[in-house]
Structures are given as C-alpha cells and as structure tokens.
C-alpha cells in the first residue's frame, strides 16, 4: 500500500528538505519506490531547462521513479519570497485545487512512499483566501512536523501542532532537527515538546553542516510511518 505524507515546518529554513530527503532515502533503503513532490518552490534559478529550485532538485535526486523536474516541482517561482507574493509579481494566482491536481497526477505513478513538501510553515498563504493548509486538507495526507530546534521552537511547534489538528489532519509524528550547533537546554526543550505534542517524535537529527542524506536517514524512524 502506498504511503504519502505532507511535510511542514515550524518556520522557513528549518530543514524540511533535509528531513524529506532523509525519509525518501530511508524508504529507498528498505526497497520501496519513492517520489518527492514540492508543488510550489520560490527562489528558483534560471537553467538551460527553465527555472529550477535547489530543494526540489534534492527531492528529485532521492526519487527512485523516473520523473521529470516539472513533475516534482510543477510551480517554480524566481523570487525568494513568500510564494503568493512571488506568483503575484508575474501575474499568477496559486490555488489549492490546481496543486492537488498536480499531486494526483504524480500519484498515478504509484510510488510506495511519497513525501509532499510545503513552503515555509503550515499557514503560508497561497492566495488571498487560501494557505498551504488548504492544499494539505484537499489531498488528505497525514502530516510530519519538522521542528527547527532553536530558541522559540516550543511555542512555534505547539501552535503548529494545534493548527494541524484543528484543520482535521492527523499529525503522524514530528522530527527534532538541530539547526544550531549548541542550543541551550536542548534536552529540556525535547522533553517539553514530548510532553506537549501527543504525536511521537520519529527522529532527532543532530546538527552537522555537511550531513549526507544517508546520515540523516539513519536518524529517522521510517518504520514508524509504514
């Protein structure tokens, strides 16, 4: 049976792609076919093949199915700003139904394991009426929350977990991703999050500036998701 998860984070730049690629690698190591999907990516660069995003390329590199870049990242935006603002600058309007259609098209390839990476946090806008949470609700996936372990993460994590549940989606688990080398009272922060977030911690990824995908995969409990 195919398993798909929506990856969100407590903010931007807290390692969603870091964790998403690790999960794909861990699934692949178990012999599962994999697919990464980043429906909207801002901060893309011009290439001979059009606009492409580094995070989406990383997801594609850990995708075992034969997919094009556009299947992994159908909406590529150049400015490295909030997606709805980047889209408005070029006269486009993002909407959750269209993004859901791209996801359903990808799923016709029938990957055993798929991760769908959002942009920024749970409530990043798609347009004036919708946020990424509307898209997540349309495709009805359980959510994995990446917590960037730094000062302020407790509040951000608890609020995000509560918002996911209010939106009617299950929080399958959360990952503690160490984004700074030496966080004060790190263990106390972990214990607090475990107390306040009822879903299981499925990974505790240590800070390392140049960690390989396999090193990340080893720190994630992929079997808890299968």
For residue 10, pLDDT beyond 80: yes
User: Tell me, what's the pLDDT at 1?
Assistant: 66
3-state secondary structure of 173: strand
- pTM metric for this prediction: 0.96
**Span 36-48, mean pLDDT?**
95
User: Tell me, what's the pLDDT at 84?
Assistant: 95
Compute how many other C-beta atoms are within 10 angstroms of the C-beta atom of residue 143. Answer: 25
For residue 78, what is the DSSP state?
S
Residue range 161-185, pLDDT digits in tens: 999 999 999 999 999 999 999 999 9
User: Residues 6 or more apart from 109 whose CB is under 8 A from it?
Assistant: 35, 65, 67
Active-site residue list: 38
Residue range 83-130, pLDDT digits in tens: 999 999 999 999 999 999 999 999 999 999 999 999 989 999 999 999
**If you count them, how many residues does the chain have?**
226
For residue 24, pLDDT beyond 90: yes
**Span 202-213, mean pLDDT?**
93
Domains of the chain: 3-39+96-225 (3.40.50.300)
Long-range CB pairs of 191-199 (<8 Å, 24+ gap) are 192/154, 193/147, 193/153, 193/154, 193/157, 193/158, 196/154, 196/157, 196/158, 196/161, 197/145, 197/157, 197/158, 197/161, 197/171, 199/145, 199/161, 199/171, 199/172, 199/173, 199/174
């Amino acid at each position: 049976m195919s398993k798909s998860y929506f990856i969100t984070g407590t903010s931007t730049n807290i390692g969603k792609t870091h964790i998403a690629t690790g999960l794909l690698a861990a699934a692949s190591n178990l012999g599962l076919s994999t697919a990464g999907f980043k429906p909207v990516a801002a901060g893309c660069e011009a290439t001979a093949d059009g606009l492409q995003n580094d995070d989406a390329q990383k997801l594609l590199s850990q995708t075992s199915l034969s997919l094009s870049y556009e299947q992994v990242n159908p909406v590529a935006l150049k400015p490295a700003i909030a997606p709805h603002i980047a889209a408005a600058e070029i006269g486009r309007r993002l909407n959750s139904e269209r993004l859901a259609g791209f996801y359903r098209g990808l799923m016709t390839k029938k990957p055993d394991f798929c991760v769908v990476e959002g942009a920024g946090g749970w409530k990043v806008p798609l347009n004036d009426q919708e946020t990424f949470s509307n898209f997540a609700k349309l495709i009805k996936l359980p959510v994995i929350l990446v917590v960037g372990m730094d000062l302020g993460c407790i509040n951000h994590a608890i609020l995000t977990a509560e918002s996911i549940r209010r939106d009617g989606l299950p929080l399958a688990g959360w990952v503690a991703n160490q984004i700074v080398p030496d966080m004060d009272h790190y263990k106390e922060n972990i214990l607090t999050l475990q107390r306040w977030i009822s879903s299981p911690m499925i990974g505790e990824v240590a800070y390392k500036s140049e960690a390989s995908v396999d090193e990340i995969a080893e720190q994630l409990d992929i079997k808890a998701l299968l």
